[in-house]
Copies of this chain bind each other. A is one copy, B any other.
Amino acid sequence: MVTAREVAQLCGVSVATVSRVFNRPATVSATTRERVERVARDLDFSPNESARALSRQQSAMVGLVWDTDHRRPGWRHPFLQDLLLGLKSALSSHGYHLLLLATSDDARDRRPGVSLADPIGYVSMTRRHHLAGLVLIDSGTDADAFTAFAQSGLPCVALDVALSGPRATHVTSDNAGGAAEAVRHLAALGHRRIATITGPRGNAPAAARTEGYLRGLAEAGLTAREDLVITGDYYRESGFVGMRRLLARKDPPTAVFAASDEMAVGALLAARAAGLRVPGDLAVVGFDDIEVASLVDPALTTVAQDKPGFGTAAAGAMLAMIENAGAPEPVLLPTKLVVRDSCGGHPRR
């Protein structure tokens, strides 16, 4: 590995100057700068990142906390790939890499041979790696650690959880707005008994979607019925079971808004199992717009989240924090109702 020292020697300057060319080019005379740049390029030199991080107390890495271990097996983020892609591209263009952190359960952060159990906190992990900041994906289980981190003053952007702090902000879909739109769509099609299958208790987006559902009913002049609200957990199975229960009500719904596409698919299956046709006998709307949504039969009408937007917004907020001091405003990503076949087409009026 060629070092700054070698470049310096070849150029007849000090390493300080080489360093300046890379960090504050404006403070170096044009002649020297160009010479150093040429030699650096010829030698394929660029500054060693560990050394740079150590001396600046800041690395070119942003940490990503994606805690999977407390999840039930098979858990999948509805659009992790798009999220990562958006994050990675946006961060990349500013020279940052993404460090996927090993979290709590799957390993205490120790190397083989280290017998010492070191307590792991996001704060100390961030400091130890000199990370520029942390992106936190809501896991539901680590709420306290998340809050502690947000309070720490280290740059932090949370996805799907409303965290705040001196240098913390968050990005979320307009969950309430999207849900309300879905319900209005159903109402516009003539439905009056509109049920919902919600996400898990304690999950913020789930709560917002339920809130939007209620708002949508109100806006359509419909009154909410408690027996038409069923708690699910985002997974397909809970959509199936929930729908079955809804269909057993004395005055069963003619439409259902599921807080995730997975549950909507479950509802579709339950309807089929009960001998109902969708959308003929039952209309269903999902949330997320995962790939499956367009492939099930009938294709699912759903509230689409701005998947790459999540990554881009998170990266944007993070970069802003890294470069400035305070915390940018939280980002509320607009959703979009994608009308397909599970509600019987477009509103009648």
Contacts and interface: CB of A to CB of B under 8 A. Distances in A.
B46 A54 contact: no
A238 to B, nearest CB: 17
Contacts of A47: 128
A207 interface: no
Nearest to A121: B44
A112 interface: yes
B68 A85 contact: yes
A118 B50 contact: no
Nearest to A110: B95
Contacts of A77: 81
Interface string A73-100: 0001100110011001101111111111
Interface stretch (A16-24, A136-144, A336-344): A16-24
A139 to B, nearest CB: 13
A129 B216 CA distance: 52
Nearest to A84: B100
A340 B21 CA distance: 62
B296 A118 contact: no
Given A41-B119, A106-B88, A94 B81 contact: no
Given A102-B88, A128-B46, A95 B118 contact: no
B116 A37 contact: yes
Contacts of A296: 295-297
A44 B80 CA distance: 33
- Interface size class on chain A is 35 or more
Interface string A32-57: 00000100110011111111011000
A40 B112 CA distance: 18
A14 interface: no
Please report whether the interface of chain A is mostly helix, strand, loop or mixed according to DSSP.
loop
Nearest to A46: B118
A117 interface: yes
Contacts of A45: 118
Interface in A290-318: 291-292, 295-297
A46 B46 CA distance: 29
Contact of A40 (B68, B109, B118, B292): B118
A100 B315 CA distance: 14
A65 to B, nearest CB: 11
Contacts of A89: 68-69, 106-107
Contacts of A60: 109, 111
Given A54-B50, A60-B111, A81 B76 contact: yes
A184 interface: no
B95 A41 contact: no
Interface centre among A40, A47, A111, A117 (most CB of B within 10 A): A111
8 contacts: A25-B116, A40-B118, A41-B116, A44-B118, A68-B89, A93-B106, A95-B102, A98-B100
Interface of A: 1, 21-25, 37, 40-41, 44-51, 53-54, 59-61, 64, 68-69, 76-77, 80-81, 84-85, 88-89, 91-103, 106-107, 109-119, 121, 124, 127-130, 265, 291-292, 295-297, 323
Given A22-B116, A44-B118, 4 more contacts: A25-B114, A44-B124, A95-B109, A98-B99
